Structure formats: structure tokens, C-alpha cells
């Protein structure tokens, strides 16, 4: 079997080349071809010796994801369904804005965490994505969006993808090693060269992994909070039973010692009649009292079969006001791409293998007792 070069971060690629007697600068050259210029043909790598190119052709390949569909919404949001083999597929979403282009990347086929309000969670869990499959989403989007001619910069001279958020399908910190290698590539100047502040890992609260990330590769951190009390959060985010709020808040504080931004972002999905009372907002204030943070409120995005409803605009505004009055920067996430089911929590992809999905509680159980 050939190795897929998209599976390597810089260190991995250097090691692989060193085993073949190649110098470290070859890794830098290769990274640039692979990621900056999005090349998938060794023949185009003109500054790499012919002998090495021949050897690469023998032993390696550059295998990006295969798009099964490519859908655009009127607001410019674009969604790709990417084949990851075995009948499974994951989704990647590009969200252009006036000032930036954000790519929302998936990290697992399905998700084992089973949050009550999340469509991905309802699909069950199949497997972790490989590093190649994670970074491949950025690689693919850059190529399709025409950003590979000069290092991620499009014709207009602006960075087409300026921000990456690991907020697609899956729990990034439950796929730690592969996500870490992908993050390193996103930051690597020879690859995507993104600023740490513009790469965001979103987690439902895997506390030990938050601590590891702080040491290994601190990037912007978003935590899916969704409830001010353990009783409610246990229901909405079952992982809370393993890492309750007190533990999670302590991890957020520790993270800030190394974080590239001086705040944590708390995501809070607003569910009508469940967690959207003004009293809930006040309880949140008490909870985050000593953590520099911003809030990003996400009005619930419905999906088939979901029991929840989105609160009225007025209720959302009142909730936001309580937080703002306490001087916490609070944004309401604009619903983008919902016409193509690309909004938060609507990514379902295609997750097969119900053999694994059935004992999902076991997967969750093993996660929680790990
Ligand atoms: N597992 C990670 C990454 C997913 S990010 C995490 O939990 O943070 C996706 C964000 O969308 C999370 O904050 C998630 O809680 C939120 N979300 C999930 N389902 C949603 C829905 N139906 N409507 C709005 N937001 C949702």
C-alpha cells in the first residue's frame, strides 16, 4: 500500500524522508507543493530531483477526498459531501463573509457523544477521520476555490480561507492525534500558514484533551456549554457526567495561560423553553464569573425528528442582553447555509455501519471511562 502524503505533518514527513536518506529541506519543499499549491501530481514538482520524484511515485500518493456532491446556498455558503470509503461520507462547509472566509471541517464520521439536540449525534459513530481526511478538506476547498496558485491567496489577493473551525461532524478532541497533526499543518508556514488565532477547536468538553492541546498546539478554543447547571447539561451533553461544569471551567481557565487569544468562546445553543430563560443567562454569569470569555449564541437549527424548537427573536435578544449587560461580548450566530442543511448541527453526512451505531452507548461509555 502506498502512503498518502497528506497524512503527514512536517515532522512526520521529515522522518519518512529521513528513513529514505533524504534531507529535511525536501520535506519543506514537498509540503509547499502539497498544501500551498495543492498539487497532486509528482510530475509538477519541478524543484524536486527526478530520482526522488520517481521514488515518490513508487511509494507514495497524494490522495485528496472525493466529492460526492457540491452544493451552494444563495448566501454564498457552500457544502461538500466527501466520500471517506465504506459508504460513509462527511461534510465540509465554506462560509464566506465580508471580511473573512471560514471553512468548517469535520473530524469524525458521526459522533459518539450523543448530544440531545445535534443531528450528527443522531447518526451514531463510525470512526475517526485520518489526518489526510481532515487536512484533505482544507486541501480540497482551497483547490476548488481557486486559492492554490499562490499560497492560499485568490485572484483578488485576499486569503480565500482565512479561518478554520473544527465545528463540523464529530468531536475533534476525541480524535486527538489525527486532529493535532492536521492543526500543525494548518499553522505551518510551508503548508497553510494560518494564524493560531484563526484556527478554532470546538469541544463538548473533553477536559484531559483540552489540557493536552494547551501544551501541544494552543489554538483558539470554543467550548460547547449549552447549560448553566450540571442537571441540565447532563441531559443535553451526556459527556458532562464525566467532566462536570466545575472541572470544565477549571480546564478553560488553565487553557487561557497558553491560549493565543485571551478569552474562551462559549457556544450556547438556544432551545425554546429548555435553556433560554433569563434566569439561565443569569446562572451563566455566575458560572463564568472568573473566566475571560465571549458567548456565541446559536439559535437551534431544526432537523428531521428533533424535539426542540428555536426561541423567538425577542427571547434570543433578551438572553443576549443579560450577558451583554454584564459586559460579556455576546454574538448571535447568523444562520448560514440552512437552505442546504449546512448550518450548525445539521451536518449529517452519511454514517453507515449501524453495527457500531447500535452500541453507541458503549462507545460513549468507553469514552467516558477512558
Ligand atoms: N463536537 C464539537 C464540535 C461540533 S461544533 C462540539 O461539540 O463543540 C458544532 C456546534 O454546533 C456545537 O456547539 C454544537 O453544540 C452546535 N450544535 C449542534 N447541534 C445544533 C443544532 N441543531 N442547532 C444549533 N447548533 C447546534
The fold of the 3-61 domain, in CATH, is DNA polymerase; domain 1 (1.10.150)
Q: Ligand 1: distance of its center to the CA of 268 in Å?
A: 9
Name the residue with cell 515532522.
11
Cα–Cα distance list, 111 to 135, 173, 345 (Å): 18, 11, 12
pLDDT at residue 345, rounded to an integer: 66
pLDDT at residue 361, rounded to an integer: 46
Atom of ligand 1 nearest to the CA of 118: 19
Residues 6+ apart with CB under 8 A from 321: none
Q: Ligand 1: distance of its center to the CA of 138 in Å?
A: 20
Q: Quick check: 48 pLDDT over 80?
A: yes
Tell which one of 111, 205, 220, 267 to mutate to probe ligand 1, the residue whose CB is within 8 A of the most ligand atoms: 267
Atom of ligand 1 nearest to the CA of 113: 1
Q: Quick check: 41 pLDDT over 90?
A: yes
Question: Over the chain, what is the mean pLDDT?
Answer: 91
Closest by CA to 122, choosing from 307, 272, 368, is 307
Q: What is the pLDDT of residues 198-251, one digit of tens each?
A: 999 999 999 999 999 999 999 999 999 999 999 999 999 999 999 999 999 999
Q: Quick check: 78 pLDDT over 70?
A: yes
pLDDT at residue 359, rounded to an integer: 42
Which triple of cell numbers denotes residue 137? Answer: 478538506
Q: Ligand 1: distance of its center to the CA of 279 in Å?
A: 22
Tell me the pLDDT band of 341, cut-offs 50, 70 and 90. Answer: confident
Q: What is the pLDDT of residues 124-153, one digit of tens each?
A: 999 999 999 999 999 999 999 986 755 555
Q: Quick check: 357 pLDDT over 90?
A: no
Q: Is the CB of 118 under 6 A from ligand 1?
A: yes
Atom of ligand 1 nearest to the CA of 202: 8
Q: What is the mean pLDDT of residues 280-285?
A: 98
- Determine the 3-state secondary structure of 315 from DSSP: helix
Q: Is the CB of 344 under 6 A from ligand 1?
A: yes
Distance CA 134, CA 131 (A): 5
Q: Quick check: 19 pLDDT over 80?
A: yes
The fold of the 66-368 domain, in CATH, is TIM Barrel (3.20.20)
Q: Which residue among 22, 91, 133, 171 is the active-site one?
A: 91
pLDDT at residue 120, rounded to an integer: 87
Taking the CA atoms of residue 5, residue 9, residue 14 and residue 15 in that order, the dihedral angle to the nearest 10 degrees is -90
Q: Please give the residue that has the higher pLDDT: either 76 or 284.
A: 284
Q: Give, for 216, the enclosing helix (H) or strand (E).
A: helix 207-216
Which triple of cell numbers denotes residue 62? Answer: 497524494
Buried b / exposed e over 292-331, threshold 16 CB at 10 Å, is ebebbbbbbbbbeebebebbeeebbeebbebbeeeebebe
Q: Do domains 3-61 and 66-368 have the same CATH topology?
A: no
Break the chain into its structural domains and give their ranges: 3-61, 66-368
Q: What is the mean pLDDT of residues 318-347?
A: 85
- Percent of the chain exceeding pLDDT 70 equals 90
Amino acid at each position: 500500500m502506498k502512503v498518502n502524503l497528506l497524512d503527514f505533518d512536517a515532522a512526520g514527513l521529515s522522518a519518512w524522508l529521513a528513513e529514505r536518506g533524504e534531507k529535511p529541506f525536501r520535506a519543506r519543499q514537498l509540503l509547499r507543493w502539497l498544501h500551498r499549491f495543492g498539487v497532486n501530481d509528482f510530475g509538477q514538482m519541478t524543484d524536486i530531483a527526478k530520482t526522488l520524484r520517481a521514488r515518490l511515485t513508487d511509494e507514495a500518493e497524494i490522495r485528496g477526498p472525493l466529492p460526492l456532491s457540491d452544493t451552494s446556498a444563495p448566501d454564498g455558503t457552500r457544502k461538500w459531501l466527501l466520500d471517506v470509503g465504506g459508504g460513509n461520507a462527511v461534510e465540509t462547509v465554506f462560509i464566506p463573509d465580508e471580511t473573512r472566509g471560514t471553512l468548517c471541517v469535520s473530524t469524525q464520521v458521526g459522533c459518539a457523544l450523543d448530544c440531545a439536540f445535534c443531528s450528527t449525534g443522531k447518526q451514531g459513530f463510525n470512526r475517526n477521520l485520518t489526518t489526510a481526511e481532515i487536512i484533505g478538506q482544507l486541501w480540497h476547498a482551497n483547490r476548488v476555490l481557486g486559492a492554490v496558485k499562490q499560497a492560499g491567496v485568490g485572484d483578488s489577493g485576499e486569503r480565500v480561507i482565512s479561518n478554520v473551525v473544527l465545528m463540523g461532524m464529530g468531536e475533534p478532541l476525541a480524535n486527538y492525534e489525527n486532529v493535532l497533526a492536521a492543526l500543525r499543518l494548518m499553522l505551518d508556514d510551508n503548508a497553510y500558514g494560518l494564524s493560531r488565532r484563526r484556527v478554532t477547536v470546538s469541544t463538548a468538553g473533553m477536559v484531559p484533551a483540552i489540557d493536552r492541546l494547551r501544551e501541544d498546539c494552543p489554538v483558539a478554543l470554543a467550548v460547547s456549554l449549552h447549560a448553566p447547571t450540571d442537571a441540565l447539561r447532563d441531559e443535553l451533553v451526556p459527556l458532562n457526567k464525566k467532566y462536570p461544569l466545575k472541572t470544565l471551567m477549571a480546564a478553560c481557565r488553565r487553557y487561557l495561560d497558553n491560549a493565543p487569544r485571551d478569552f474562551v468562546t462559549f457556544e450556547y445553543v438556544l432551545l425554546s423553553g429548555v435553556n433560554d430563560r433569563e434566569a439561565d443567562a443569569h446562572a451563566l454569569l455566575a458560572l463564568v464569573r472568573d473566566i475571560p470569555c465571549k458567548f456565541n449564541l446559536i439559535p437551534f437549527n431544526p432537523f428531521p425528528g428533533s424535539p426542540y424548537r428555536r426561541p423567538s427573536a425577542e427571547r434570543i435578544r433578551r438572553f443576549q442582553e443579560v450577558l451583554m449587560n454584564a459586559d460579556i461580548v455576546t454574538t448571535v450566530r447568523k444562520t448560514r447555509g440552512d437552505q442546504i442543511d449546512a448550518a450548525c448541527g445539521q451536518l449529517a453526512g452519511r454514517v453507515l455501519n449501524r453495527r457500531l451505531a447500535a452500541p453507541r452507548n458503549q462507545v460513549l461509555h468507553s469514552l467516558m471511562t477512558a
